[in-house]
Structure 1
Amino acid sequence: MYRYNDFDQAFLDERNAQFRAQVARRIDGSLTEDEFRPLRLMNGLYLQLHAYMLRVAIPYGTLRSDQMRQLAMIADRWDKGYGHFTTRQNIQYNWPKLPDVPDILDALGEVQLHAIQTSGNTIRNVTADHFAGAAADEIADPRPVAELIRQWSTDHPEFQFLPRKFKFAVTGSPNDRAVVKAHDIGIRMVRNDRGEPGYEVLVGGGLGRTPMIGKVIRDFLPPADLLPYLEAIVSVYNTLGRRDNKYKARIKITVHENGIDTIREKVETRFAELKPLFSGVDQEMLARIEEHFAPPAFRNAPVEAYETARDRDPVFRAWADTNLAEHKSEGYAIVTVSLKKHGATPGDATSDQMRALAELAQRYGHDELRISHEQNVIFPHVHKSDLPALHEALRAADLATANVGLISDIIACPGMDYCALATARSIPVAQEIAERFDQLKLEHDVGPLKLKISGCINACGHHHVGHIGILGLDRAGVENYQITLGGDGTETAEIGSRTGPGFAYDEITDAIERIVRAYLDLREGPGETFLMAYRRLGADPFKAALYEDEKAKTHAA
C-alpha cells in the first residue's frame, strides 16, 4: 500500500493549513458564503440539507487498519458515531461543524488521508477494482496506475476549473468490477496480440440525467504513453467542453456533440505535442509507486478447518457461498463484508464496526481493507483456515450478513434524508425492499441480482446500471419512483430501459416483488440469472407482471 513520502506529507499539511485559515475567515465574516463555497468544495466540504457534509477520499478504495481506526475516531469525536461509504470509494461524515473541519483534516493527515478534490469541477477520487491485487482473473494490480493518476491530477494547474467534475476508474481484470464504462475516462488493462501489457482507454461514459456508455478512444495504449495520453484527453475536454450549461458540460456530451472520431483526432494531435514533454519521469514515479504494492507474504497452511466448517455449519456455508470470491493465491479467499444488513442503511458503518474491521484486518487480513463502489468492505487476503474464526468475529460485530450480490445488497444514495439535491427518499425504500425479501426468504433462490436506487436524476445510486434500477422523482410534490430493467455495470455494460409509469412510495416494494416473482416463473432454471433471463426474453413479460394490478384496476373501473 502506498505510504506518503516527506513531500506528500508536507503538501498535505500545507493544504490543510491553508484551508484552516479560509475557515477562520468564513467564521469571522471576512468571506461570504459565495466566496467560501469554491474553497470548501476544493476540500470536500458540502452544505447539505441539515448540516455540512465532509467527503473523505479513500484513493482506489484501499485502507490500512490505522486509517480505519482514525475514521472511527473522527466519527465519534466530531460526528454522530458513524460514517457512510459511497459509490466512489469515499466516506462521508454527515454532521461535522464548520469550526471542527480543520481539526478533522489534520486528523486525516496524521494517517495519510485527505479530502482534496472530492468535490468541485476537477478530477475526483480515482476509483479501482475493489479486488485489486487479489483477484484470480487479474492481469495486473491497477492500484499503482490509480496512484500515479492521483498524484498527477492533484492540484494540476490546468485542471482545477474544468467545465464539470471528472471521474476516472481503473481495472486490471477482464471482468470489470470498477464500472469503467460509466466513467469520464475508463482504463482497462489488456494484452495485445503479442501478449504485451497495455491499456484500453474509454472516454465519455457517465450516468446522471443523460446516461451514456463510454466509447473506446484507444484499444491499445503502451504503458509509457498512459499519462501524456490522459493529459491530452483532459486538455481537449478543457478546451471543447461546454461552460454555458452545466447540464451539458460533462465530457460525455462533448463526445456526443463532436463525435468520437473528431475527439480522437484532437486527442492524438494534443498527445503528439505532449509526449515529448514527458521525459520518462512519470515512468520512474510509477516504478517507485509499484514498490509499495508488493503482495503480502502469503502463508502456506492446511485448509481443513475451512472445509470442516462448510460441511458442519450451514450458517457459515451460506455466508461463504455469497461473501467469498476466488483469490489468486491458493489457500486464500477474498472476503466481502456486507454493510447491507436487512433493514440497515446501505453503506453506513458505526465507529465500533470500523474498529472491529480494523482489528480483524490486522489479525486475519494482512492489514489491508478495501471499500467497494457497492458500499461494502473487503478483506482482500484471508487464508481459508482463518475464515471460520473471521466469520464468528464478524457475527459478534453484526457484520456477517450473507447477502453479497443478492437483491438486498442494494446500492443507495442518501436521498432526501441528507442530500440537498434529492427529490425523493432512497434509504427507506432500500430498507423496505431488503426487509421484504428477507421475510419472503426468496433472495438466495433468486440469486445474483443487482438493485440500485437513486433519489434524484443525478444518479449517485447508479440506478441506470442496475439489473433493476429505481429512480425517485418529485411529481407535483409527491414522490414517484421509476423503474429501469436490464442495466449492467460490468464489461458487458448497458443502460437500463425504463418500464413505464412510476410508482408511489407505498407501491414501489410491491412492484419490485412482482418483477422478481415474474423472473422466478420465467427463468430456465436456477442457473439463469435475472440479467440473463431479461436479455433472453426482453422487457415485455416483466412489464406485463409489473403493471398487472393497474390493468386490473382499469378494467374493473
Structure 2
Amino acid sequence: MYRYDEFDHTFVTQRVAQFREQVARRIAGELTEDEFKPLRLMNGLYLQLHAYMLRVAIPYGTLSSRQLRQLGYIARRYDRGYGHFTTRQNIQFNWPTLKDVPDILADLAAVEMHAIQTSGNCIRNTTADATAGVAADEVADSRIYCEIIRQWSTLHPEFSFLPRKFKIAVTGSGRDRAVTAAHDIGLRLKLDADGNPGFEVLVGGGQGRTPILAVTIREFLPERHLLSYLEAILRVYNQLGRRDNIYKARIKILVRETGRDEFARLVEEEWAHIRDGELRLPDGEIERIQAYFAPPAYQALDDACPELAVQRAGNRAFDAWVGSNVEAHKRPGYAVVTISLKPHGGIPGDASAEQMEAVADLADRYGFGEIRVTYKQNLLLPDIRKGDLFALWQGLVAAGLATANAHRVTDIIACPGLDYCNLANARAIPVAQAISERFADPERERAIGNVTVNISGCINACAHHHVANIGILGVDKKGKEFYQVTLGGAADENAAIGDIVGPAFDEDRIADAVETVVDVYLAERRGADEPFIDTYRRIGLKPFKEKLYAAH
C-alpha cells in the first residue's frame, strides 16, 4: 500500500492549516458564502439540503485498517455515527458542522488521508478495479498506475480549472470491473505481442443528462507513455472544451461533436510534442511504485481446503454467503471477500462507526490489514485464507454485515437522493429499501441470480443508472416523485446504455415494476445460468414493456 512521502505530509498539513484559517474567517463573517464556496469545494466540503457534506478521497479505493478505524472515529465524533461509501470509491460524511471540519481534516491527515480534489473542475479520484492485485485474471495491478496518475494529477497547475470535472478509471484485466466506458478516460491494461504491459485508451464516456460510452482512440499505449498521453488528452480538452454551457462542458460532448478520428488526431498531434519529454516515465519509476504494492507474506496453502467444504455443508447461511460474496484469488488457498453494505431494507453504501471498526479488526485478524472500497458501494477484503472464511463470516454476522447478496438483485447502487442532495428531484433511498425488501427471500434472490439495479435521484446519474441492467431515474412532475425505468444497461467490458421503457412509475408502483421486469426475465431466460443482460439482448425491450403497461 502506498505511504505518503515527505512532500505529501507537508503539503496536506499545510492545506489543513490554510483551510482552518479560511473557516475561521467564514464563521467570523469576514467571508461571504459566495467567497467561501470555492475555498470549501477545494477541500471537498459541499453544502447540501440540510447540512454540510464532506467527501473524503480514498485513492483507488484502498484503505488500511488504521485508516478505516479513523473514519469510524470521525463518524462517531463529528457526524451522526455513520459514513456513506460512494461509486467513486470515496466516503461522505453528511452531517459535519463547519467549525469541526478543520479538525476532521487534521484527523484525516494523521492517517494519510485528505479531501482534496473530491470536488471542482479538476481530475477527481481515480477509480480502480477493487480486486486489483489479487484477481486471478488480471494483466497487472492497476493500483500501480492509479498511484502514478494520483501523483501526476494532484494540484496539476494546468488542469486545476478544467471546463468540467474529470474522471479516470483503470481496469487490470479483460473483465472490466471499473466501468471504464462510463468515464472521461478509461484505461484497460493489456499485453502486446512481446508480453509488455500497456493500455487501451478510451475517451469521452459519461452519464448525466447525455449518457455516452467512451470510444477507443488508441488500441495500445506502452506504459512508459502513460502520463504524456493523458497530458495530451487533457490539453486538447482544456483548449477546446465548452466553458459557456455547463451541460455541454464534459469531454464526452467534445469527442462526440469533434468525432473520434479527429479527436484522436488532435491528441496524437499534441502528444508528438511531449511524448519523449519529462513526462515519459523513467526507467525504474514503475518498479519503484510497484514496490509499495508488493504482495503480502502469503502462506503456501492447499487450494482445496477440505474444512471449507465441511463448513459449507453444515451451515446453509454460510454456504449462501460463500456462494455470493466470495470470489477466486490468484493465490492458492486464499479468497477475495465482498462485505455487503446492502442489508435487506437498509440504506445502500452506509456503514456505522462500529461496523467500520469491526471490519478493520477483521481485516487485521484474518487478512493483512487492507480493505478496499468497491464502486458498487461495498467493502472488500482482498486476502482471506479459505480456512478462515467461516470465522470471518461469524464476525461479520455479529457486526450485521453478513448479507449474502453481492452481485444480486438487492446489491443496489443508490445515490443519497432528495433525502440529502440539493440537486436531486426525487428520493432514491426509500425506493432502494422497498425493492430490497421485495426480494429479501434468500432462496428467491439466489434463483434470480446476478441482476444489477441502480437508482439515481436526478439526471446527474451519480448511481450509474444508465449502465444498470435495471436502471431507475427519479424525476419530478408537478411536485410529485416519479421513476423512469431503463433496461439493458451494462457496466462491464461490453458496456451498454439502457433503453427507456416508457412512462415513469410513481413511488407506489416502482417496486412492482421492478418485480414485473424480473418475472419476465425468469420466464424468458434459457436456463438458470443465462444472465439478465443476455436474455434482454436476445428478446429485446418489447416483452418487458408489454407486461409493464398491460393494465394501463
TM-score normalised per structure 1: 0.97
1:519 pairs with 521, 528, 532, which one? 521
Contact 1:78–1:100 under 8 Å retained in 2: yes
CA distance in 2, matches of 1:438, 1:38: 44
Separation of aligned partners in 1, 2:96 and 2:270:
43
**Cα pair 1:168 1:185 within 8 Å, conserved:** yes
Partner of 1:76: 76
Which residue pairs with 2:509 in the alignment? 507
Partner SS state of residue 88, structure 1? coil
Q: Is 1:175 aligned to residue 202 of structure 2?
A: no
Shift of 1:282: 5.4
Name the residue aligned to 1:52: 52
Q: CA deviation at 1:523?
A: 1.1
| Structure 1 residues 279 and 169, CA gap change in structure 2 (3 angstroms) | closer
1:281: how far off?
5.4
- Map of 1:15-94 to 2, 5 A cutoff? 15-94=15-94
Secondary structure, aligned partner of 2:380: strand
Aligned to 1:278: 278
1:236 alignment partner AA: V
* Pair 151,279 (structure 1): closer, same or farther in 2 beyond 3 Å: closer
For 2:42 and 2:275, the matched residues in 1 are separated by 29
The SS at the match of 1:369 is strand
Q: CA deviation at 1:364?
A: 0.7
Identify the residue that residue 325 of structure 1 maps to in structure 2: 327
Alignment of 1:318-357 (within 5 A): 318-357=320-359
Tell me, in whole angstroms, the C-alpha distance in 2 between the residues paired with 1:48 and 1:282: 44
RMSD between aligned alpha carbons?
A: 1.1
Q: Secondary structure at the match of 2:53?
A: strand
Task: Please list the CA deviations of residues 189-210 of structure 1 after superposition, one character each: whole Å capped at 9, or x if unmatched.
Answer: 0112333221111000011100
Deviation at 1:304, TM superposition (A): 2.5
Distance 1:362 1:194 in 2: 39
Contact kept, 8 Å, 1:236 with 1:270, in 2: the verdict is yes
Partners of 2:87 and 2:376 within 8 A in 1: yes
By how many angstroms is 1:224 displaced? Answer: 0.8
Partner of 1:162, secondary structure, is coil
Letter in 2 for 1:64: S
Aligned counterpart, 1:228: 228
- CA deviations on 1:440-476 (whole Å, 9 max, x unpaired) are 9521111000000000000001000000000000011
Q: Is the CA contact 1:301–1:385 (under 8 Å) kept in the aligned structure 2? A: no
> Offset at 1:278?
1.6
Map 1:138-537 onto structure 2 (within 5 A): 138-278=138-278, 280=280, 284-302=284-302, 303-439=305-441, 441-537=443-539
Q: Which segment drifts farther, 306-315 or 340-349?
A: 306-315
Alpha-carbon contact 1:523-1:533 (below 8 Å) kept: yes
Segments of structure 1 that go 5 or more residues without pairing to the other structure are: 551-557
State which drifts further: 277-286 or 308-317: 277-286
CA shift for structure 1 position 283: 5.3
Shift of the alpha carbon at 1:498? 0.3
- Counterpart amino acid of 1:268? E
Task: Write the distance in 2 (CA, Å) between the matches of 1:526 and 1:374.
Answer: 24
Distance 2:311 2:488 in 1: 37
Amino acid of the residue matched to residue 29 of structure 2?
G
Check conservation: 2:228, 2:279, Cα contact below 8 A: no
- The answer (yes or no) to whether the contact 2:84–2:91 under 8 Å persists in 1 is yes
Identity among equivalent positions (%) equals 59
Task: Tell me how far apart the structure 2 counterparts of residues 455 and 351 of structure 1 sit (CA, whole Å).
Answer: 26
Task: Tell me which residue corresponds to 1:554.
Answer: none
The alpha-carbon distance between structure 1 residues 66 and 447, as it changes in their structure 2 partners (threshold 3 A), is same
Following superposition, the deviation at residue 280 of structure 1 comes to: 4.6
Contact 2:201 2:219 in 1 (8 A): yes
Query: Which SS does the other structure have where 2:275 is aligned?
Result: helix
Deviation >6 Å, runs of 4+: none
What is the rounded CA distance, in whole Å, between the counterparts of 2:14 and 2:292 in structure 1?
24
User: Aligned pair in 2 of structure 1 residues 432, 498: CA closer, same or farther (>3 Å)?
Assistant: same
The answer to whether the Cα contact below 8 Å between 1:227 and 1:282 also exists between their aligned partners in 2 is no
Q: 1:374 to 1:319 in 2, by over 3 A?
A: same
SS in 2 for 1:207: coil
Letter of the 1:356 partner, please give it: A
Shift, 1:329, TM fit: 0.5
Query: Which secondary structure state, in structure 2, belongs to the residue aligned with residue 402 of structure 1?
Result: coil
Q: Distance in 2 between matches of 1:345 and 1:38?
A: 31
Q: Secondary structure at the match of 1:378?
A: strand
Instruction: Map Cα deviations across residues 313-356 of structure 1 (whole Å, 9 max, x no partner).
Output: 11111000000111100111100000000011000000000000
Return the alpha-carbon distance in structure 1 between the equivalents of residues 279 and 470 of structure 2: 48
Paired amino acid for 2:484: Q
The number of equivalent residue pairs is: 550
Deviations 1:46-94 (A, max 9, x none): 0000000000000000000000000000001100000000000000000
SS in 2 for 1:548: coil
Shift of 1:41: 0.7
Q: Distance in 2 between matches of 1:330 and 1:420?
A: 48
Cα deviations by residue, 1:479-532 (Å, 9 ceiling, x for unpaired)? 110000000000000000000000001110011111111111111110111111
Contact 2:411 2:452 in 1 (8 A): yes
Aligned partners of 1:305 and 1:388 also within 8 Å = no
CA contact (8 A) 2:225 2:279 kept: no
Aligned partner of 1:341: which letter? P
Secondary structure of 2:272's aligned partner: helix
Q: Who is 1:135 aligned against?
A: 135
SS of corresponding position for 2:147 = helix
Specify whether residues 282 and 461 from structure 1 end up closer, same or farther in structure 2 by C-alpha distance, changes over 3 A only. farther
Task: Report the residue type matching 2:94 in the other structure.
Answer: N
What is the letter of the counterpart of residue 334 of structure 2?
Y
In structure 1, what residue type is equivalent to 2:24? A
Distance between the aligned counterparts of 2:42 and 2:290, measured in 1? Answer: 28
**Deviation readout 1:174-203 (Å, 9 max, x if unpaired):** 101100010000001011233322111100
- Note closer, same or farther for the CA distance 1:510–1:279 as it changes in structure 2 (3 Å cut): closer
Taking the aligned partners of 1:31 and 1:290, their CA distance within structure 2 comes to 44
- Quick one: which amino acid aligns to residue 265 of structure 1? R
Match of 2:111 in 1: 111
Pair 1:200–1:377, CA change in 2 (3 A): same
Aligned partner of residue 236 in structure 1, secondary structure: helix
Q: Summarize the Cα distance change of 1:440–1:132 in structure 2 as closer, same or farther, 3 Å threshold.
A: closer
* 1:191 partner letter: L
Map of 1:125 onto structure 2: 125
**Structure 1: distance between partners of 2:402 and 2:274:** 50
Instruction: Write the distance in 2 (CA, Å) between the matches of 1:154 and 1:176.
Output: 25
Match for 1:499: what amino acid?
A: V
Letter in 1 for 2:385: H
Aligned to 1:442, the other structure's residue is in SS state helix
Tell me the secondary structure at the aligned position of residue 95 of structure 1.
Answer: coil
Contact preservation (8 Å) 2:225, 2:281: no
After TM superposition, give the deviation of residue 284 of structure 1 in Å: 4.5
Return the letter of the residue paired with 2:256. Answer: H
